Amino acid sequence: MAEAKKDLAARATDSPAFVERARQELIKLMFRGDACGRSQQKDLASMTRLMVPDVEDFLRAHYRPNNAELIVVGAIPLTQIADVVREKFGSWVKVGEPPTRSDSRLARISDSIVRVIDRPNAERALILLGYPLPARQSPDYQSLNALVALLEDIGHASRLQRALADFDRRQISFKGELSFGFDCSSLQIQIEGPLSSLNATIHRVLDAIQGTKTQPATGEELSLIKSHLLEEREQQIRSDEGLANLVTEVELFGLGRDYLSDLSPRLELLTSEKIQEASKTYLSASRLAMVVAGARDRIDPELKDFEVQYLGSP
């Protein structure tokens, strides 16, 4: 336990505190009033309060053979695997039933206030946009992956790339992160750029997202999306780690063994209309959460089009 706390203290100095705080504020805003809004990020304060009995209680509650899957990847004889499993896990026995998970649900964001973290003297702004999404088992999973690809993963043809094309790309950067779980799934888009173009950047990005609802993917865009998703899958199955992660998804989310088969037939069913429908369903303006970090004195005029709530300095 002491080593874990020491390691966390060392790593805490490696990442900007304001970025982590902004992410946690975004998560709380996306999943307001829901367990998904609780911080999953380890911090020194929570680790200091954590005692060995707390860890033991968690292990007893969650680490059970009836709540686990064993995934083995590699050219290992089945008999050898069985011997190792008996040796390492032979004394591990079922104890009651594991805790049940809550029903999957989508958070509803009740206001359009932009949360702002004041960073005095900062020359650049950090913008985080977030949308709560359905659980991994959703039939819209593939359409949502395609939607994110349309926004940012198909090179110069991506909608965000085109929306920010006349900005100095040396001064502005963006990336999207699609995260799926049993209950807590989300799309987060992170943009960093000069404070002087904050207002224009936000509007360009929001317009690009809105455009996925009104302008379906073209034939060329759809072809690029499918190629990207196929290449992404091929990269996964070429490594032991990637293949293990895929198998783990199958077991954890009950996706069916055919999920590991060729992705091409499933992508044939992917249409521009399905991507557009996913955008209309999950990326509505009423479900948008936004957090901005930057110098307050320079942010105020740039956010004149939004209602703002300041959260103080990190």
**Cα atoms in the Cβ-side hemisphere of radius 13 Å centred on 48:** 4
Instruction: Decide the pairing of beta strands 308-310 and 114-118.
Output: parallel
Asked if residue 195 and residue 74 are part of one domain, the reply reads no
Asked if residue 67 and residue 7 are part of one domain, the reply reads yes
Whether 173 maps to a domain, the answer reads: yes
Asked if residue 134 and residue 67 are part of one domain, the reply reads no
Asked if residue 161 and residue 52 are part of one domain, the reply reads no
Provide the pLDDT for residue 93: 65
**pTM for the whole thing?**
0.75
Return all residues near 7 (Cβ < 8 A) that are at least 6 apart.
none
Chain center to CA of 125:
21
Long-range contacts of 219-223 (CB under 8 A, 24+ apart): 219/272, 220/157, 221/150, 221/154, 221/157, 221/272, 222/270, 222/271, 222/272, 222/275
Distances (CA, A) of 109 to 30, 106, 157, 280: 6, 10, 31, 16
Asked if residue 190 and residue 145 are part of one domain, the reply reads yes
Provide the pLDDT for residue 86: 67
Distances (CA, A) of 18 to 4, 37, 205, 210, 291: 23, 18, 22, 28, 11
Whether 303 maps to a domain, the answer reads: yes
Last residue of a domain, one of 51, 73, 89: 89
Last residue of a domain, one of 25, 55, 89: 89
CATH code: domain of residue 240: 3.30.830.10
Asked if residue 208 and residue 81 are part of one domain, the reply reads no
Query: Do 270 and 142 form a contact (C-beta atoms < 8 A)?
Result: yes
Provide the pLDDT for residue 12: 40
Asked if residue 244 and residue 155 are part of one domain, the reply reads yes
Whether 100 maps to a domain, the answer reads: no
Asked if residue 57 and residue 121 are part of one domain, the reply reads no
The structural domain count of the chain equals 2
Asked if residue 279 and residue 143 are part of one domain, the reply reads yes
Domain holding 67, by residue range, is 2-89
Whether 97 maps to a domain, the answer reads: no
Asked if residue 229 and residue 135 are part of one domain, the reply reads yes
Asked if residue 304 and residue 235 are part of one domain, the reply reads yes
Nearest to 283 by CA among 104, 113, 150, 126: 150
Distance, CA of 21 to CA of 33 (rounded, Å): 18
Whether 101 maps to a domain, the answer reads: no
Provide the pLDDT for residue 104: 43
Asked if residue 219 and residue 138 are part of one domain, the reply reads yes
How is the beta sheet containing 173-179 ordered, strand by strand? 173-179, 185-194, 124-133, 289-294, 114-118, 308-310
Provide the pLDDT for residue 13: 36
> Three-state SS across the chain?
CHHHHHHHHHHHCCCCHHHHHHHHHHHHHHCCCCHHHCCCCCCHHHHHHCCHHHHHHHHHHHCCHHHCCCCCCCCCCHHHHHHHHHHHHCCCCCCCCCCCCCCCCCCCCCCCCEEEEECCCCCEEEEEEEEEECCCCCCCHHHHHHHHHHHHHCHHHCHHHHHCCCCCCCCCEEEEEEECCCCCEEEEEEEEEEHHHHHHHHHHHHHHHHHHHHCCCCHHHHHHHHHHHHHHHHHHHCCHHHHHHHHHHHHHHCCCHHHHCCCHHHHHCCCHHHHHHHHHHHCCHHHCEEEEEECHHHHHHHCCCCCEEECCCC
Whether 203 maps to a domain, the answer reads: yes
Provide the pLDDT for residue 188: 94
| pLDDT of the chain, 314 residues: tens digit per residue | 556 545 544 444 344 667 888 888 898 888 876 678 766 555 556 667 777 777 777 777 767 776 676 777 777 777 777 777 667 666 666 666 555 554 444 544 445 678 999 888 888 899 999 999 998 888 999 999 999 999 999 999 999 999 998 887 778 888 888 888 877 899 999 999 998 889 999 999 999 999 999 999 999 999 999 999 999 999 988 888 888 888 888 888 888 767 777 788 889 999 999 999 999 999 988 889 999 998 888 888 888 888 888 886 55
Provide the pLDDT for residue 292: 93
Whether 107 maps to a domain, the answer reads: no
Whether 105 maps to a domain, the answer reads: no
Kindly state the tokens that stand for 202: 């936000």
Last residue of a domain, one of 89, 124, 143: 89
